[in-house]
Each structure stands twice: as structure tokens, then as C-alpha cells.
Structure 1
Amino acid sequence: MNRISIFALAALMISMCTEIYAQQKEVSLASIFKEGVFNQESVRGINWMKDGQFYSSLVKEDGISKVVKMNISTGEQEAVLIDGNKLGIEFSSYSFNNDETKALIATEVESIYRRSSKGVFYVVDIASGISQKLMDGEKISYATLSPDNTKVAFVKDNDLYYITLADNEVHQITSDGEWNHVINGSADWVYEEEFSMAQAFEWSPDGKKIAFIRFDESAVPEYNMQLWGPLYPQDYKFKYPKAGEKNAEVSIHVYDLKNDESRTMDSGIEKDIYLPRIYWTGNSETLAFIRLNRLQNQLDLLHANTETGDSKVILTETAETYVDLNYNDNLLYLKDGKGFIRTSEQDGYKHIYHHDMDGKLIQQVTAGDWEVTEVVGVDEGDKKIYYVSTEKSPLERNLYVIKLNGKGKKELTPAQGSHSINMSRDQKYFIDYYSTANQPLHITLNDAKGNAIKVLEDNKALKDRLGEYALSEKEFFQFQTVDGTQLNGYMIKPADFDAGKEYPVLMYVYGGPGSENVRNAWGGTRDFWHHHLAAEGYIVVCVDNRGTGGRGRAFKHATYAQLGNLEVQDQIAGAKYLSSLPYVDGARIGIWGWSYGGYMSSLSLMLGNDVFKTAIAVAPVTTWRYYDTIYTERYLQTPQLNPSGYDDYSPLTHVDKLKGNFLLIHGTGDDNVHFQNSVALLDALVAADKQFETFYYPNRNHGIYGGNTTWHLYNLMTNYIKEKL
């Protein structure tokens, strides 16, 4: 082929591509936030049933909630177990008792904080369909059926109760609960946020006892969050322990229903500790619990005698940095009563360990330069463990099975991407929620060997809609920083990308300890906002800096005691790498983030003022002195022990370096990252004589949503980027 014909062919191909893109729609803000064009379908509310041949699922038919029974072998619906239409109740959640003769359903559910809520609960008899309203419709929290089906425990007004269903009689277990003083059976604010818990009580296996955690937060300082709207703004005061301040004093108790008395479990002499987990070990005589010291660099597992309260330390794990409970939260007692399995990153990567009941190590079950992210099932009969890991790549998640002795490992989900697993109680089946960065959820029912039995959701309608839009695929890349650290990133280019042009770049960052944004998984709404920006002529890039998860202990713990330092270095290195690409306009690189990402974008613009032109910070931490004890001290120690770790990389310290365009956004009702953070940064910027822009959303929480809020927020940010980048 001669040179002229080669150029002619190239011109023809460019022309054809341009025509194809011209025929496709651009991703608009309205299509994302008003029309929900890119919303994917899922399968929710699935509970595996006791006989192993059925599972139940919460569905909506004509706007009415129903719980249906599905046959695993046929994939067909067998029966309607709970019919909201017949009950005259529109419910949002359900749970069965152990023998599946009764169910608890919740309606009128009202969120409190991130994980806590209260609502109106009913007990439904499955055979008769008769419902019993609890507490005459008063809103209660965490209603839980007893294993013997005769009682329901719950929390109301910071006290723990139970109801005997036969006579509807209410029994009060605690009586000292008081707002901003004492909480029984549910977590305080900081435990809920940072230890991912809300309910703090558990029925014993025989239903004769209830173990619960008591929080005395009387000495914890209050945070005052003003609520705007009335003629005189209202004060909302709640207990929030900022770094270095007093935490709640926490204790563990076991209530004996027969004797109507509670006994305190011995958690040691030291009171400035955390007690974030309780577990029944398989019988009602032994309660296990986790104890963490204030700096979270020592984790103890204790067993307590519930009759005497005496306890002993079974296992201890220490670290020079921290032992991350949330990262290692896979403790499971085996039904044979001979031991337990747990996960730990003590060898440098998060892996599975098998211990006897005295805490002695029997076997490290998994090993390698990769991480177990979740244990999803244990088949004690065949001595097998099913788990999800990063063995293929930190960007992916796949399901494996391995014998308890560490042999016979087999991958069950070979497709590249991310697999989230819901496994049946008998480990014979699992539901695979599978996606990639460029393919929405594909949900299948599978047998234990990984063979697909039935497709439950393929999101075909969404895939068809995606074909109508001009979209480019998310591309993954790697680069090395000046010190040789290899970082992962992704890039979204304009659909009509031309390598001969130069494009402005917007970097998206979160970057907090253990987080991961660069994943081969479906990204959702925020990704499509990035696609909208790509349609407007921007390249959107995300880089996971040091400190993020999926790559082992050394990579994650590298940022210990000095948050912001290495992370910002890595984001600046990412911007410089992008500037070296021929299709990037190095003079127009911006960065945005939310929460920890807002902290990162603020600091990156200040410390990287020679590479970043523009930054948007949404709900940012601006000084770690204003954030809570559990999260902050885990990574920085206390401000009394490590003041430079708090101040050296606070945006407040570096306001004099601001040169580019800066937009600061916050919700005034943010109970998590307080509006105080933005007020302090604003004040410091004014003192430094720096010009910037701000926008505040009245009474909105950390998520900044509700009504027209999300639409308004993303319009605001879009216009700012178009104007300033």
C-alpha cells in the first residue's frame, strides 16, 4: 500500500469514528443526576434459608415490598413469604429467626448517623401471616429475635429492653441510659463511625442471656452543631471525642434473663481502652471480646466466664504502628468448639490463621504477597475455607477455596474484575456480584465449584443504554515515583480522544489509609460525572498513593505518624508524570476530592503549587486536631505525643503557598468532618491574604445530599472546573 493510500485510509477511519461519535449522545449532568440513565440494577435483601435449597429475597412489585422464596435448583420463585400488601405494611428490611417460622420487618426507618437508625418493627408469623407490632409503634433500634423465638431485644432511649412475644410484656434490662451520658446496647458516635458498628448487644446461643456494651460518655466533650432554618437556629449537641480528648469509658456486661441481673466482664485495670467487639463462642458460658489500647498498637482477644465475669487473654497481637481492627475483622468461632479462625496482617499481608480455643496457632492457612480481603464461608465438614483475595492483582477481587490445613487452593471466579460474594450457610452455593471498570454488575447464582446455575441480573437494559452514549473505557496505568515506588492509576479520556491534541487533566483523589479507588470494578455515579467532564474535553485521572490498601502492610503503613506527607508527594508525582505525556496540557492540571480527599486536594494545591492550577475540596479535614480519636490516633498517635504529625501537613500550616484556584465546599450539618474544619481554613486563608471561593450547604451532612442538593453540587463543581481549568 502506498503512502497516499495509507493517509487516505487513516483519514477515512478518523472520519468514520467522528461520525459514530456524532451519532451518540454525550453524557450530560441531567442524564446522570436527574434521569438516572446510568443507574444499575442489583439483587438485594438476600438471605440463605436453613435447608440449603432455597434463598429469600426482598423485592418490590408495584411499589409493594415482598419477601419471596427462591428455589436454587430451578431458579424459580416458590412462594411469597411476606406480603406487604396483605399486611398493609410497606417495609424496607426483614430478618428471619433461626427456624424461619417468624420474621422481623422494619418500616418508617429513620437514619441517625452513618449506620444507626430507628424504626417501627413488626414480628410476622410466616405460617399465618399475622403481624405483631412492637412497642405500639414507638420507634426502636436493632430489634433482634431470640434464638428460641419467644422474645425480641432492642434499644430505646439509650436503654436495652426485651419483649416476651406471648404476652407482649416489656422488660427493661438497663435504666441508666441518658442522652449524652450513658448508652446501653448501641454504639457511641465514634465507635459507630470508626469501628463500623451500631448494634452493641448479642443474644446468647440458647437465648437465656444477652451480652451488651455500655458506654459512659459523660466526660466526653460535646460538639455543638447549629441547625439552620428556624427564626433562632437550634443547637444540636452530641458527644464527639476529638484527637487527644477523653473517650467514653466502656464496659461489657452479660444479662441473665432468668435471674434478672447483669454481670460485668473483667476487661482489665486500664480504662482508657477500646472494647469494639463481642462474640459468643458457641455456648452461653463463654463470651469473647476484643480489647484495644488507646494507641491501637496492641490487640487482645479475651474469653470471659459469663457466670463469674472472670476473663483471660487468649491471644495478643502488637505492632510498631497499629493493629487495624477493621482491616482484620474476620474472627469466626468454629462450630466444633475446638478453635477459631481470624485474619491478620502480622506477616506483612492480610492472611487467614487457625487457632485452638486457648489461642495457640494451629496453622497459617494462606500466605503470599497478596491479601485476603474477606472470609465468606467455612465448611467445617470438608474443612474448607472460602475467601476473597487480591492474589491476581490489587485491582481485582476473586473467590478462592482452600483446605483448613492450607492445601488444595482453587480459584472459583476466574473472570478478571471484582467479585463480591454472598455464600450460603451450608457453603453449597454462592451469589457472585461481578463487575469490571467498564461492565456493570452481572449477578449469578453458582454452586460451590463456581459453576453458574442462573443469571439473577445482567443489567442488559443499562448495557443497551450505554451503547447510546459516547463513552471511553477506563484505562489502567502504572508509573514510578522518583524513589522507585510504583503506583497504580486509571484514566478516563474523551470519547473522541485525539493523541495529537493537548488536554487539561482533573485528578480525583481520596488517598486515606487502607482505601482503594483504582479498582477494576464498576464505579457508579461519580464515575459518570467524570465521563461528563471527559465529554467536555477533560482527561480524568485517579492515582492511589502510598497508604492505600490492597498492597500489603508496608505500603499501607508507610504514612504512619505523618499523614499527608507521602500521599501528597505521590499525587504531585502523578501530576508530573501526566505532564510528561504528549497529550496532556501540563499548565492545566487540577485535583479534587471529598473528605480525606478534600484534605488531599487542599494540601496538594498548596504544596504542589507549581504543578496544580486548580483544586476543589469537599468536606475536607483541615487539621487532624479536629477529627475523632479512634481514626486519627490510629494513624498519628495523640497530638500530645506527636504534635508535629498533626501540624506539619495540615493545610492550615501551608495557606501562604496557595497560588492557584481553590473552591472550598462543606455541609454545615456535617457530624463527621465538622464544618469547623472549613471555617478554620477560611480564616487562615483570609489572614494570609489569599483569594478563593467557598460554598456551604445548610444542614447537609457529610454526604451533602437531599432534595436538589446533589444536582446543585455537581453543577457547581462542573462550572468551576470549566471556568478555572
Structure 2
Amino acid sequence: MHKLLSLSLLTLSLGVGSLSAQNGSRIMTIEEINAGTFSARPAGRGMRSMSDGLHYTMMDAGHRAILRYSFATGKLIDTLFSVDRARDCEFKHFDDYLLEPKGHHILLITNQESIYRRSWKGNAYHYDVRRNRIEPLSQEPGKVMIPTFSPDGKMVAFVREGNIFIKKFEFDTEVEVTNDAARNKVMNGITDWVYEEELETIQLMSWSEDSGYLAFVRTDESEVSEYSMPMYGEGQYPTSYTYKYPKAGTPNSKVSLHIYNVTDRSRKEVSFRDGAPYYIPRITFVGREGQLAVFTLNRQQNHLRLFYVQNKTLLPKLILEDKSKTYVDSHNITWCRFIPTGFVYPSERDGYRHLYHYSDKGTLLRQVTTGKYDVTDFYGADAAGNLYYQAADESPMTRGIYRIDPKGKRTTLHPEKGSNQAIFSDSFAYYISIFNNTTTPTRTAVYATGSLKPLRILEDNQALQNKLAQYKVSPKEFITLTNAEGQEMNAWVVKPHGFTPSTKYPVLMVQYSGPNSQQVLDQYGYGWEQVLASQGFVVVCVDGRGTGARGEEWRKCTYLRLGVKESADQIAAAKALGRLSYVDPSRIALWGWSFGGYNTLMGLCHGQGTFKVGIAVAPVTDWRFYDTIYTERFMRTPQENPEGYKASSVLEVAGNLQGKLLLIHGSADDNVHVQNSMDLAELLVQRDIPFDMAVYTDKNHSIYGGKTRDHLYKKMISYLRTHL
């Protein structure tokens, strides 16, 4: 027998800023929200710690200069680069920059162009600080990717059209490291689409600490199937964009590891005793004895191995293995840090993600953090062996920053409860605190590590607070809901303006629900829920099973059957909400984007009329259509898990869909292909199930550009007003 669904309220204290904002008279509009009117200002563009640990740099407001500041005093020390002062400077502003550790060279990036979610290419210029002269990094045409200084500062490696080159400043020469690249076939040092999207890496290239060797991964995607999208543009005929996209169960790129000797220009492949690794998600020289750390994963992503490869012998030595009954989270690889006494690796071996300190031989020295909470980021270690990390220990909905010493004594570094991030100086003597919560726009301040009194405020967003005071704002109230299994789920509620408990309101449930995601967080941000609140809607967001910061069991319980428990929890939450005095249970809608769009469809197909309306934006409709790394991490391959794919497919249960449906997709979505929505649309048509659909021409997964976002959100609001 199922336990009764229940709802309990948590207390949310409101700050002065939000109270005054609540008393304003102006109503937020979709145009204002999409334009970023209520977004918090960051402290500075391109803020970086310098290698001395005492100074940081940032670009000026016009992107015309690089300025150096003191961490301790905040004073402007000098200008490292200026377009007005540099000799032979051909450009008037720049998009980004890279500093050489010794300070003798700077790279300036102009005309930066996004490729996919994280990758970019741009025109690169070399600024010789001592000569005050700027010149193109290369005399050859073409934008460059992942420019990377050698540790001695005398060279920079970069990728152009898939091949690696090295620019040697002392000799003003450019050396070709590889020459076998071809689009949609071979690339070197950079990653393919699926590595970038799902392993969150765009660079597989690393310098040895003595600058004598460059390690890189060669990616051969020749056997990966192509996906083509029509691009309509403005011409008489559409063009076609074609790229390699491996779908669940199909071949991935083949990867191989190579080490290039800068002195003799030789290049050798590293051989592994049991064959080439299936995935190589990260390589990095550890900073001593020429040891290259190489992380590998099997296709099921449940067996991670860390090898050390000496750059002269090229012999891989197994240092660490991490195995899981489900999968090894890729963030464990990303957050692993190599420190003077070995390395710190995050693992979920005790049921929560914690930090473990290992020697270079792979011997476990100690478990650094313990408790029933997840570490959510790891920043590194200082010279004294203190470790710095972020954790969700106060609540899954908050993030705190901590230092822990070699004896296990922990020091809190964050100023207030809410969402806390930190950018540490290279020496860890100072850090930049980035704090916000639901009632406080982002505050950025500089601290001396160990003190909770800021040295100075870089940005307090007081101007935004003053602006918010003019608006009628409905604050988020945190609540908990209990699912059909008796487990509590975190949620927030935004109530309508002029709310009265005796009125029955329509409800929109917004959610994402994907593995290790979180939407219910104590963090600042205003979205379309405020517009809906002004039009008489209650808006609710629920983080059900599978979401983050609640331990491995909660996070991974959806393994092999995505969408089943996630949609069940949204259905259970809707039923619980329907029993509240101010909710009309016959007028509840479900909305989501990407995985949230998929879960919306699962909710409508399994909810038996629980939801009157559903809006699904850019949804997956069958996991066979999605990429290998993401899908197989949670589902394995369709060949291994046919029943799980069937249970997780919207297409299998489309005939059970109940409620009004608005299906939305961008025609040029490189992530979740429009094929997903087209196949669902055809099934619904053939089953004579009415639905509404909107396709946005040449728009990608984010569906933006020009007036697109305004049109999209106005359409969704109109749909809710009409049908809910």
C-alpha cells in the first residue's frame, strides 16, 4: 500500500531587498526578463589570478586593456596590455586573453566564434611584453583553438583545422606537430561533439613540466555516423549542416594517446597492455618526473582507471581504479587535482561524494571529507597541505566553501547561507567570494583566506536591488513534498500576486529532473515564473529522484530506466499539490526543456489525466535517438538493455497521452535532434490524438536569437492562459 502523499512547509526568511521589491507596483515582463534586466552583474570580465598568487587581472569595460590589481589592497597596479599603447596593434578591442606564467607573453583573442556549447575558435595575436609589440600568432590563415602556453613561457601550442602547431617565440618559428586532420574524420588535441557535450572537455592536450614534451589525444571519428540538418537561411535552397553524432549503441570515435618530443620532433603513440582505451576523458602532466596522468573509461562508464605514463619510457602504470555497479560520475575525473603529495580524487565509495587523498603510487593516504553530504567541487591544495572545496553539507539546496587541514580541522570560508562559489588565487592566500541566495543578488568580494571579513566588495548589485524595489515580486517559498514511496522531495512555490488562500488557482509545475541536476536551490534568479505569478498562476518546481546533492543512492536510483521514477515523482507531487486549499486540482500543467521536456511527455503519458496541459521544449522522445556517452552512462546500450529503453521511451506510450500538449523544437538543434519531436508528432497524428506544435527555424537547443525568446515565452504563456 502506498503511503499518503503529504506536504510540509519550510521557513524562508526574506531579506530587506526582496521585501521592498515586493511592495513595488511595476510588473515584470517577458521582454525585460529575456533581456537580462534582472540579472546580477558579474564583478569583472576575464578575471584571473596571476601565478604569483598576489595579483589578479581583468579586462577593462571596453575590452581594450588588461589591468593588474592587488588582491590585498584592490589597487590598480599597472596595465599589462593596451590596444592604444601596443606597437603594430591592428585591432581596437579583444574578446579574451591568456597570460604566460612568467609574464613575458600575452595572447589576445579577437573575433571569437562559438562552435558548440563550450568550444570556440578565434584570431590569436601574440603580444611581446618586453618589446611592446603585437603580431599575429601565426602567419598562416585560419582561426585557432585551445591555445596553451608551455610552462617555461617560450612556446604556445594551438590547434588549427584539427592539427596541432607549436609557435616558438625565441626563434619566431611555427612547427607542425600533426598533419592528418580532416573534418568529420580526424582531429588532434581537441574533442569531438559528444566528448565536449557529455564529458565537458574541449582539450586533450598537455605540456610536461619541463616544456620538453606535448601529450595529446588523436580522435578518429571516421566510423561515427553523420547527422545532417537543413539550414534554411535566406537563400532559394536550404543548405545542409553535417557533423558526426554517435547515437546510443552505435560506434564512437576511436582515440589514441601520443607524446611529441619538442627537441627532436618525434611523435610516439602510447600502447596500453590490454588494448586502446575506449574513452580518454582527461590527460594532464602531474608536474613532476615527467609523469602524464591518463584517465580512461570503458564504454559502460562503470570502470575508471588512472594511469601514469612517463614521457620518456611511454609505459603506462596503473595507479587507481574506481568501479561502480552503475556508473562513475565524470565530475570525479574533472575535479581530481594533482598536488605535491600525490592527488585528490572524489569518489562515491561510501554513498556520498567525498575527497580521498592518494600518493603517486596509488596508496590511499586518507579520506579527507566524511558525512552524509556531497562534495560538489574541489579547488585544490595550498603549500601547507590544506584542501579547499565546495559542499552541500548544510542542505542539498545550498553550497558552502571550506578549507580542511591535514589533521581534518575544517574552516568555513563562505560569508552567508545560500549559493557560494570561490575563485582562489594561485597561492590560496586570497579568494574571490561569489555569493547569492533567493533574496540577494550576487555579491562578489575579495577575502584573505581564513577571514570572513571582506577586504573589499567588487560588486554588490545595489543598483539591481534598487530596480527590484520598483517591481511587484512574488518570492520563492521552499517546501517539501512526499512521493508515493514516502520519500521527501525538495520544492519551491511562487504564489500569485494578491494571493488569498481561499482562491483556487491554476498551477504550472516547472522541472528539469535529469540525473544529478538541481532546480530547487537557494540562489538568486527571476524568470518567467514572475510573469505567470502576475497573471494568477501558482508556479511550483520539484526535484524528484535522480537529482543532485542527496547522495549516490538518490542520484542513481533511476539507472537503466530513465524517466520512470522521475515522471512518477512529478505525478505524485501534482496530486499532493491538488489537495491544497488554494490549488485547483483540475488545472495543473507540467513544463520542461530538454530532459525536462522529455519528463513532461512521460508525465502526460503515464499521469492518467493528472495534468491538464503539458509543454515540452526540445524533448528526447526515445533514448535510442540521443548520444552515446550520456545515454549509455545511465541506460547502457539498447542491445544490453532493451526492456529499459522500452520502459523509458515516450514513443512506446504515446497513445496514452492525456492533456493538451504544446510540442516545441528548434529545427537546427544539434543536441536533441528535431527528429525526436517529428517522430512523436507522426505517432500522435496516426493515433488521432490532437496536439499543438511550434518549430523555430534554424534555432539550436537553446532556441534564441533576435525576438525568438520573447516569441517562445509569450506563446507558452498564451497557451497556458487558453487551456489551463
Q: Please state which band the TM-score falls in when normalised by the shorter chain.
A: over 0.9
Secondary structure of 1:290's aligned partner = strand
User: Equivalent of 1:123, from 126, 129, 138?
Assistant: 126
User: Equivalent of 1:110, from 113, 123, 127?
Assistant: 113
Greater Cα offset, 95-104 or 576-585: 95-104
Which structure's relative contact order is higher, taking Cα pairs within 8 Å and 6+ residues apart?
2
Post-superposition Cα deviations, 1:60-96, rounded to whole Å, max 9, x if no partner, equal 1xx3432211122222222222223444431111121
Greater Cα offset, 230-239 or 438-447: 230-239
Matched, 1:367 2:366: no
Amino acid of the residue matched to residue 147 of structure 1?
A: P
> 1:489-508 to 2 correspondence within 5 Å?
489-508=491-510
Distance, in Å, in 1 between the alignment partners of 2:172 and 2:702 is 39
Alignment match, 1:569? 568
Greater Cα offset, 25-34 or 468-477: 25-34
Contact 2:57 / 2:68 at 8 angstroms: preserved in 1? yes
Q: CA RMSD in A?
A: 1.8
Quote how far apart the aligned CAs of 1:244 are. Answer: 0.3
Secondary structure of 1:25's aligned partner = coil
Secondary structure of 2:602's aligned partner = helix
Secondary structure of 1:625's aligned partner = helix
Alignment match, 1:351? 354
Structure-2 change in CA distance of 1:23 and 1:431 (3 Å): closer
Secondary structure of 1:520's aligned partner = coil
Alignment match, 1:325? 330
Alignment match, 1:158? 162
Structure-2 change in CA distance of 1:20 and 1:215 (3 Å): closer
Amino acid of the residue matched to residue 527 of structure 2?
A: F
Distance, in Å, in 2 between the alignment partners of 1:23 and 1:566 is 41
Quote how far apart the aligned CAs of 1:174 are. Answer: 0.8
Amino acid of the residue matched to residue 459 of structure 2?
A: E
Contact 1:58 / 1:65 at 8 angstroms: preserved in 2? yes
Task: Please report the TM-score for the alignment, with normalisation by the length of structure 2.
Answer: 0.94
Secondary structure of 1:135's aligned partner = coil
Alignment match, 2:302? 297
Amino acid of the residue matched to residue 112 of structure 1?
A: I
Alignment match, 2:228? 224
Amino acid of the residue matched to residue 662 of structure 1?
A: L
Task: Please report the TM-score for the alignment, with normalisation by the length of structure 1.
Answer: 0.94
Structure-2 change in CA distance of 1:334 and 1:20 (3 Å): closer
Q: Identity over aligned residues, as a percent? A: 39
Distance, in Å, in 2 between the alignment partners of 1:639 and 1:268 is 29
Amino acid of the residue matched to residue 617 of structure 1?
A: A
Alignment match, 2:650? 651
Quote how far apart the aligned CAs of 1:23 are. Answer: 5.9
Contact 1:21 / 1:496 at 8 angstroms: preserved in 2? no
Amino acid of the residue matched to residue 34 of structure 2?
A: F
Structure-2 change in CA distance of 1:84 and 1:719 (3 Å): farther
Matched, 1:170 2:174: yes
Alignment match, 2:153? 149
Greater Cα offset, 396-405 or 65-74: 65-74
Quote how far apart the aligned CAs of 1:271 are. Answer: 4.1
Quote how far apart the aligned CAs of 1:352 are. Answer: 0.6
Distance, in Å, in 1 between the alignment partners of 2:523 and 2:21 is 27
Distance, in Å, in 1 between the alignment partners of 2:23 and 2:519 is 31
> 1:16-415 to 2 correspondence within 5 Å?
24-34=25-35, 36-43=36-43, 44-60=45-61, 63-86=62-85, 87=89, 88-136=91-139, 138-229=142-233, 230-271=235-276, 273-283=278-288, 285-335=290-340, 338-381=341-384, 383-405=385-407, 407-415=408-416
Alignment match, 1:7? none
Structure-2 change in CA distance of 1:22 and 1:253 (3 Å): closer
Post-superposition Cα deviations, 1:645-672, rounded to whole Å, max 9, x if no partner, equal 1121211111111221101111111111
User: Equivalent of 1:457, from 452, 456, 459?
Assistant: 459
Alignment match, 1:14? none
Quote how far apart the aligned CAs of 1:134 are. Answer: 1.6
> 1:408-487 to 2 correspondence within 5 Å?
408-449=409-450, 450-487=452-489
Quote how far apart the aligned CAs of 1:104 are. Answer: 1.2
Quote how far apart the aligned CAs of 1:129 are. Answer: 3.3
Contact 2:277 / 2:296 at 8 angstroms: preserved in 1? no
Contact 1:91 / 1:107 at 8 angstroms: preserved in 2? yes
Matched, 1:615 2:614: yes
Structure-2 change in CA distance of 1:648 and 1:83 (3 Å): same
Greater Cα offset, 343-352 or 228-237: 228-237
Secondary structure of 1:706's aligned partner = coil
Structure-2 change in CA distance of 1:268 and 1:576 (3 Å): farther
Secondary structure of 1:722's aligned partner = helix
Contact 2:72 / 2:448 at 8 angstroms: preserved in 1? no
Distance, in Å, in 1 between the alignment partners of 2:238 and 2:348 is 48
Quote how far apart the aligned CAs of 1:169 are. Answer: 2.2
Distance, in Å, in 2 between the alignment partners of 1:416 and 1:265 is 48
Structure 1 gap ranges (5+): 1-18
Structure-2 change in CA distance of 1:23 and 1:309 (3 Å): closer
Post-superposition Cα deviations, 1:172-227, rounded to whole Å, max 9, x if no partner, equal 11111111111111001111111101122112111111110111111111111221
Alignment match, 2:514? 512
Amino acid of the residue matched to residue 38 of structure 2?
A: F
Quote how far apart the aligned CAs of 1:356 are. Answer: 0.8
Post-superposition Cα deviations, 1:565-595, rounded to whole Å, max 9, x if no partner, equal 1000100011111111101111111111111
Give aligned pairs, total: 698
> 1:1-16 to 2 correspondence within 5 Å?
none
Amino acid of the residue matched to residue 122 of structure 2?
A: G
Quote how far apart the aligned CAs of 1:50 are. Answer: 2.8
Alignment match, 2:14? none
Quote how far apart the aligned CAs of 1:326 are. Answer: 2.2
Distance, in Å, in 1 between the alignment partners of 2:329 and 2:72 is 41
Post-superposition Cα deviations, 1:501-529, rounded to whole Å, max 9, x if no partner, equal 11111111101101111000113xxx321
Amino acid of the residue matched to residue 49 of structure 1?
A: M
Post-superposition Cα deviations, 1:445-489, rounded to whole Å, max 9, x if no partner, equal 011113311000000011101110000211111121121111000
Contact 1:267 / 1:291 at 8 angstroms: preserved in 2? no
Contact 2:473 / 2:530 at 8 angstroms: preserved in 1? yes
Secondary structure of 2:633's aligned partner = helix
Contact 2:224 / 2:244 at 8 angstroms: preserved in 1? yes
Contact 1:209 / 1:284 at 8 angstroms: preserved in 2? no
Contact 1:328 / 1:350 at 8 angstroms: preserved in 2? no
Distance, in Å, in 1 between the alignment partners of 2:271 and 2:480 is 51
Contact 1:206 / 1:284 at 8 angstroms: preserved in 2? no
Contact 1:145 / 1:152 at 8 angstroms: preserved in 2? yes
Distance, in Å, in 2 between the alignment partners of 1:109 and 1:68 is 21
Quote how far apart the aligned CAs of 1:328 are. Answer: 4.9
Structure-2 change in CA distance of 1:316 and 1:551 (3 Å): same
Contact 2:294 / 2:308 at 8 angstroms: preserved in 1? yes
Structure 2 gap ranges (5+): 1-19
Alignment match, 1:558? 557
Secondary structure of 1:341's aligned partner = strand
> 1:674-685 to 2 correspondence within 5 Å?
674-685=673-684
Distance, in Å, in 1 between the alignment partners of 2:231 and 2:22 is 48
Amino acid of the residue matched to residue 182 of structure 1?
A: V
Distance, in Å, in 2 between the alignment partners of 1:488 and 1:237 is 42
Amino acid of the residue matched to residue 222 of structure 2?
A: S
Distance, in Å, in 2 between the alignment partners of 1:23 and 1:192 is 44
Quote how far apart the aligned CAs of 1:268 are. Answer: 4.1
